[in-house]
Structure 1
Amino acid sequence: MTWLSLSSVLAGGAIGSALRWMLGLALNPVFPDLPLGTLTVNLVGGFIIGTAIGIFDQFQSLPPELRLFVITGFCGGLTTFSTFSAETVNALLRQQYGWSFTIVAAHLIGSLAMTVIGIHAMRLLLK
């Protein structure tokens, strides 16, 4: 670990976390049973990670600190498994079992799909 690596993760994480907080403030009140801010950051984060993987696979000479900034820092700060977990458990505690399943499916399937879409989009664009 170098100071540049650590600084890359810290800077990306700060930006991603701030963006997650702002999106949560703006979108979560829209539909409280399915907080759209949390879903949005996880879907967008999945897409960004997918595009980053596609770019870094194609351009392997890019500095590793850029990968740390984008994937570990920014996307790590932007996406949130813990908030998604808490929102799902809260729905379960309210005995909203079907809704809990919907929340889990939306996050899991949506995030995986967005990652795959991001990877394939970069492969097509960078051919």
Structure 2
Amino acid sequence: MSINHPLSVLLVGAGGFLGTVARYLVALAFSPASPGFPFATFSVNIAGSFLIGFLSELAVSTTIVSPEARLFLVTGFCGGFTTFSSYMFEGATLARDGELFYFSLYLAGSIVGGFVALYTGIIAAKPWS
């Protein structure tokens, strides 16, 4: 199936819908416990980075993740689940509010944690590749 096949659009859309709902549920779970620091977005970005690394490695190195599953899971679900735009907005809000410690921790922690999670996902997928 080609990337411009109508089913591809549906796979990405369905995955994106589920990823977005999952992200919303994580936000609800963290909302009462995270004043000051955006733990929900931070957690989603780290988990999403792991998932993208893990699933992409399996898609490239094996037949476990088909091209269709990759569209659904990586492009759709992970694309809807991870929240870079929210990450940037929340970082800017922390900076605007003068919370420079949280601003620095959030931005640096998300970047470093995201890369660590991404490579951990790749390594975790190696036994299947």
State the TM-score, normalizing by the size of structure 1. Answer: 0.92
The reply to whether residue 30 of structure 1 matches residue 33 of structure 2 is yes
Identity %: 33
**Shift of residue 88, structure 1, vs aligned partner:** 0.7
Question: Moved runs in structure 1, 4+ residues, more than 4 A?
Answer: none
1:20-40 deviation line (CA, Å, top 9, x unaligned): 001001113312211211111
1:29-48 pair list within 5 angstroms = 29-48=32-51
Alignment of 1:78-97 (within 5 A): 78-97=81-100
What stretches of structure 1 of length at least 5 have no aligned partner?
none
* Equivalent residue number for residue 76 of structure 2: 73
TM-score by length of 2: 0.91
- Distance (whole Å) between structure 2 residues aligned to residue 58 and residue 6 of structure 1: 24
Count the aligned residue pairs. Answer: 126
Unaligned runs of 5+ in 2: none
User: Is 1:4 paired with 2:7?
Assistant: yes
1:126 paired residue number? 128
The DSSP-based 3-state class of the residue aligned with 1:25 is helix
Identify if the C-alpha distance between structure 1 residues 102 and 3 changes in structure 2 by more than 3 Å, giving closer, same or farther.
same
2:49–2:118 CA contact under 8 A, matched in 1: yes
